[in-house]
Amino acid sequence: MKNWLSEMNAISLKKERLIIGLMSGTSLDGLDIALCKIEGTGLSTKVSVIAFQTIPYTDAFRDSIKKICFVKSVDLEQVCLLNSEIGRLHGTYINQFLRDNNIDAKSMDLIASHGQTIFHSPKRLREEDYFSNATLQIGDADQIACVTGITTVADFRQKHIAQGKEGAPLAIYGDYLLFSNNAENRIFLNIGGIANFTLLKKEATFDDLLSTDTGPGNTLMDQYVYKNFEGKRYDKNAEIALGGTVNVDLLNALLDHPFFENELPKTTGPELFNLEYLYEAIRKANLKMLSHEDVMATLNRFTACGIANAIKQTQLSINSVIYISGGGIHNSLLTNNLKELLPSLSFKNIETLGINPDAKEALLFAILANETIAGDYRSFGDNALSLGKISLPK
Ligand X SMILES: CC(=O)N[C@H]1[C@@H]2OC[C@@H](O2)[C@@H](O)[C@@H]1O[C@H](C)C(=O)O
Residues that bind ligand ATP (CB under 6 A): 23, 25-27, 29, 190, 192-194, 217-218, 222, 234-237, 326-328, 330-331, 361
**Cβ 203 to ligand ATP, closest distance in Å?**
28
What is the Cα–Cα distance from 24 to 30, expressed in whole angstroms? 6
- Alpha-carbon dihedral angle through residues 296, 299, 300, 303, given to the nearest 10 degrees: -160
CA separation for the pair 135, 157 (Å, rounded): 7
Helix, strand, coil percentages (3-state) for the chain, rounded to 5, are 45, 20, 35
Binder of residue 165, out of ligand X, ligand ATP, none (CB less than 5 to 8 A by kind): none
**Amino acid letter at 152?**
T
**Four-point Cα dihedral 148, 153, 156, 159, nearest 10:** 150
Q: CB pairs under 8 A, 24+ apart, for 337-341?
A: 337/300, 337/301, 337/303, 337/304, 337/305, 338/304, 338/307, 338/308, 340/304, 341/304, 341/305, 341/308
How far is 75 from 275, CA to CA, in rounded Å?
21
135 makes contact with ligand X (CB under 6 A): yes
CA distance 117 to 138: 6
Which of ligand X, ligand ATP, none does residue 169 bind to, with CB < 5 to 8 Å depending on kind?
Answer: ligand X
Of residues 32 and 85, the one with the C-beta less far from ligand X: 32
Strand (E) or helix (H) holding 56: strand 46-56
Q: Which of 109, 213, 271, 294 binds ligand X (CB under 6 A)?
A: 213
Beta bridge partners of 346: 321
Between CA 296 and CA 318 the distance in angstroms is 29
**Residue 294 Cβ, how far from ligand X at the closest point, in Å?**
27
Q: Which does 331 bind (CB under 5 to 8 A by kind): ligand X, ligand ATP, none?
A: ligand ATP
Q: Is 29 annotated as a binding residue?
A: yes
Buried b / exposed e across 257-287, counting CB within 10 Å, b at 16+? Answer: bebbebeebbbbbbbbbbeebbeebbeebeb
Nearest to 388, CA basis, from 158, 174, 134: 158
Binding partner selected for residue 168 from ligand ATP, ligand X, none, CB under the kind-specific 5 to 8 Å limit:
ligand X
Rounded to the nearest whole angstrom, what is the least distance from the CB of residue 21 to ligand ATP in the complex?
12
Nearest distance from C-beta of residue 1 to ligand ATP, angstroms: 42
Under rule CB under 6 A, residue 24 binds ligand X:
no
Tell whether residue 30 is among the known ligand binding residues.
yes
Q: Is 27 annotated as a binding residue?
A: yes
Minimum gap (Å) between residue 6 Cβ and ligand ATP: 36
* Residue (178 or 194) nearer to ligand X, CB: 194
* Site for ligand X, residues 152 to 171, rule: CB under 6 A: 167-171
Contacted entry of ligand X, ligand ATP, none for residue 171, CB cut-off 5 to 8 Å set by kind: ligand X
Is 26 assigned to a binding site? yes
Selected from 196, 223, 331, 337, the binder of ligand X by CB under 6 A is 196
| Rounded CA Rg of the chain | 21
Site for ligand X in 258-277 (CB under 6 A): 267, 269
Of the pair 26, 121, the CB lying nearest ligand ATP is at 26
Query: Which among 87-95, 139-147, 188-196, 220-228 is the span making contact with ligand X, rule CB under 6 A?
Result: 188-196
Binding residues: 25-32
Site of interaction with ligand X (CB under 6 A): 25-26, 117, 120, 135, 167-171, 192-194, 196, 213, 267, 269, 361
Binding residues for ATP: 25-32
